[in-house]
Chain A
Amino acid sequence: MTSNNIEALRTRLAGGETTARATAEAALDAAERLNETLNAFLQIDREGALKRAVEIDAAASDKSDTEPPELSGIPIAIKDNICVRGLQTSCGSRILGGYHPPYTATVVERLQRAGAVIIGKTNCDEFAMGSSNENSAYGPVRNPWDTARVPGGSSGGSAAAVAAGIVPAALGSETGGSVRQPAALCGIVGLKPTYGRFSRYGLVAFASSLDNIGVFGQTVKDVAAVTRVIAGRDPRDSTSADVSVPDYVAELAHGVKGARIGVPRSLFGEGLDEGVRESVEAAIETYRELGAEIVDVELPHAKYCIAVYYIIATAEASSNLARFDGVRYGFRAEEANTLREMYRRTRDEGFGPEVKRRIMLGTYVLSSGYYEAYYRRAQQVRSLIRRDFHQAFERCDVIATPTTPTPPFLIGEKVDDPLAMYLNDIYTCTANLAGIPGIAIPSGLSADGLPIGLQLMGPHWSEAALLRLAHAYEQARPLNARPRVHAFA
Chain B
Amino acid sequence: MPITESDIEKIAQLAHLEITDEERRAFTPQIAEIVAYVEQLNELDTSSIEASTGGLTPEGERTHATREDVVQPSLGQELALEQAPDAASGHFRVPKVLS
Contact = CB atoms under 8 A, between A and B. Distances in A.
Interface residues of B, number: 59
Nearest to B81: A328
B21 interface: no
Interface stretch (A35-43, A114-122, A262-270, A346-354): A346-354
A210 B56 CA distance: 9
A102 interface: yes
Nearest to A99: B83
Contacts of A481: none
B57 A304 contact: no
A356 B19 contact: yes
B94 A195 contact: no
- Main secondary structure on B side of the interface with A: loop
A195 B83 CA distance: 31
A344 B15 CA distance: 9
A259 interface: no
Interface stretch (A6-14, A146-154, A332-340, A395-403): A332-340
Interface string A234-277: 01001111110000000000000000000000000000000000
B62 to A, nearest CB: 8
B57 A194 contact: yes
A310 interface: yes
Contacts of A379: 51-53
A393 interface: no
Measured as residues with beta carbon below 8 angstroms from the partner, the interface class of chain A is 35 or more
A441 interface: no
Contacts, number: 195
Given A318-B15, A338-B99, A361-B34, A196 B56 contact: yes
Contacts of B67: 235
B34 A310 contact: yes
A241 B31 contact: no
Contact of A310 (B26, B38, B85): B38
Contacts of A347: 15-18
Interface string B29-67: 011011101111110101001111111111110111101
A331 B85 contact: yes
B14 A367 contact: yes
A240 B63 CA distance: 8
A44 interface: no
Interface stretch (A47-55, A183-191, A381-389, A471-479): A381-389
Contacts of B80: 102, 328
Given A194-B57, A304-B41, A383 B51 contact: yes
Interface of A: 99-103, 194-196, 208-210, 233, 235, 238-243, 301, 304, 306-308, 310-311, 318, 322, 325-332, 336-345, 347-348, 351, 353, 356-357, 359-361, 363-365, 367, 374, 376-384, 386, 418-419, 422, 432, 435, 460-461
5 contacts: A318-B15, A332-B86, A343-B16, A360-B11, A381-B44
